[in-house]
Amino acid sequence: METLSPVPKHFPKVLVLRPSDVFTVLENKFSGKFEFLKAWEFPIPTDQFLSTHATSVEAMFCSANTSVTAAVLRPLPSLRLIVTTSAGLHHIDLPECRRLGISVANAATVFSEDVADTAVGLLIDVLRRITAADRYVRGGLWPVKGDYPLASKLGGKRVGIIGLGSIGLEVAKRLDAFGCTISYNSTKKKPHVAFPFYHNVLDLATNCNVLVICCALTDQTHHMINKEVLLALGKKGIVINIARGSVIDEKELVQCLVRGEIAGAGLDVFENEPEVPKELFELDNVVMSPHRAVFTEESFNDLCELMAGNLEAFFSNKPLLSPVD
């Protein structure tokens, strides 16, 4: 009796243009549910790769390091979903997605608490000089030079938060508990928020000791924190950035720090990552981290579950878990 060959399974195709940490986890977890088309593994130009799979790709998986432009979208007429591992969406052409009927799902609020913790941690570090004092001790300077200089307290600081979304609100909640006076600037006034609202960042900086940047990077926010804003913050002012590096005019920030025109900075993001201005390396009033505010073990696991859930929902014709309006 002739043995019939098993019918090959056809899994939904998910396009991935560039690798990422989250994708590595997802690929292992869903190798039996989706067929991941990894563009970087094919020795042909990206446009040729896209045209080859134009009619079969219904979903795309990406991170913030993948630019999803109109030129990427237009050769993919069957594409109906983009799932991105980031909360920010500056790397995706949203107007073109809407025009083409492509849904987008993002990380939503998965990172909000962890990023807020990092923002507060950076601020405390800058004010109390924890990292600088650690270097002082490790360098054997304590017995030679004596007690480390006085630092500054957190309580009572006037903190301006730029971007009062889910991350900004978590930052406000934490700093309010420390006894800080909170005010904010956002795209519009929040109806149920009691903190004072400023229509522009210059006025906010003028009335604050600290600026915490939590806003998205857009054409409007690019270099929004310029020399005028930094000078308005003043010589005792501190900037904390856990948003995107390009929200600040980095060259002006460096100059203000070097000249002592502001008191310090806590930076998790930079304008030309992973390149960092070398002038910052010598400054004890600057605390830096390598764009890792979003990731803890817990948030990474939560993100993987959310990304997988969005893909499963889409291919099961169910509502997305974290759709972008």
- Which residues are designated catalytic? 244, 273, 291
Pick from 65, 159, 64, 63: nearest CA to 119: 159
Answer yes or no: do 99 and 223 share one domain.
no
Answer yes or no: do 152 and 239 share one domain.
yes
Residue 9: the pLDDT is 54
Answer yes or no: do 34 and 93 share one domain.
yes
Residue 2: the pLDDT is 47
Answer yes or no: do 284 and 302 share one domain.
no
Answer yes or no: do 154 and 184 share one domain.
yes
Answer yes or no: do 74 and 136 share one domain.
no
Task: Return the number of other C-beta atoms located less than 10 Å from residue 173's C-beta.
Answer: 13
**Could you tell me if residue 131 is inside a domain?**
yes
Environment class of 129 (CB within 10 Å of its CB; exposed 0-12, middle 13-18, buried 19+): buried
pLDDT bucket at 1, cuts 50 / 70 / 90? very low
Answer yes or no: do 167 and 246 share one domain.
yes
Whole-structure pTM value = 0.89
The whole-number average pLDDT for the span 239-244 is: 97
Answer yes or no: do 105 and 116 share one domain.
no
**Could you tell me if residue 320 is inside a domain?**
no
**Could you tell me if residue 140 is inside a domain?**
yes
**Could you tell me if residue 46 is inside a domain?**
yes
User: What percent of the chain has a predicted confidence (pLDDT) above 90?
Assistant: 84
**Could you tell me if residue 321 is inside a domain?**
no
Q: Which domain holds residue 201?
A: 112-288
**Could you tell me if residue 6 is inside a domain?**
no
State both tokens at 79. 């594409």
CA distance 173 to 115: 13
82 residue type, one letter: I
Q: What is the pLDDT of residues 260-305, one digit of tens each?
A: 999 999 999 999 999 999 999 999 999 999 999 998 999 999 999 9
CA distance 206 to 213: 15
pLDDT bucket at 115, cuts 50 / 70 / 90? very high
pLDDT bucket at 24, cuts 50 / 70 / 90? confident
8 A C-beta contact, residue 50 and residue 27: no
Answer yes or no: do 236 and 223 share one domain.
yes
Pick from 188, 286, 275: nearest CA to 239: 286
Answer yes or no: do 229 and 123 share one domain.
yes
**Could you tell me if residue 51 is inside a domain?**
yes
Answer yes or no: do 145 and 19 share one domain.
no
Q: What is the CATH number of the domain that holds 93?
A: 3.40.50.720
Lowest mean pLDDT among 8-12, 55-59, 110-114, 214-218: 8-12
Number of domains in the chain: 2
**Could you tell me if residue 47 is inside a domain?**
yes
Answer yes or no: do 104 and 118 share one domain.
no
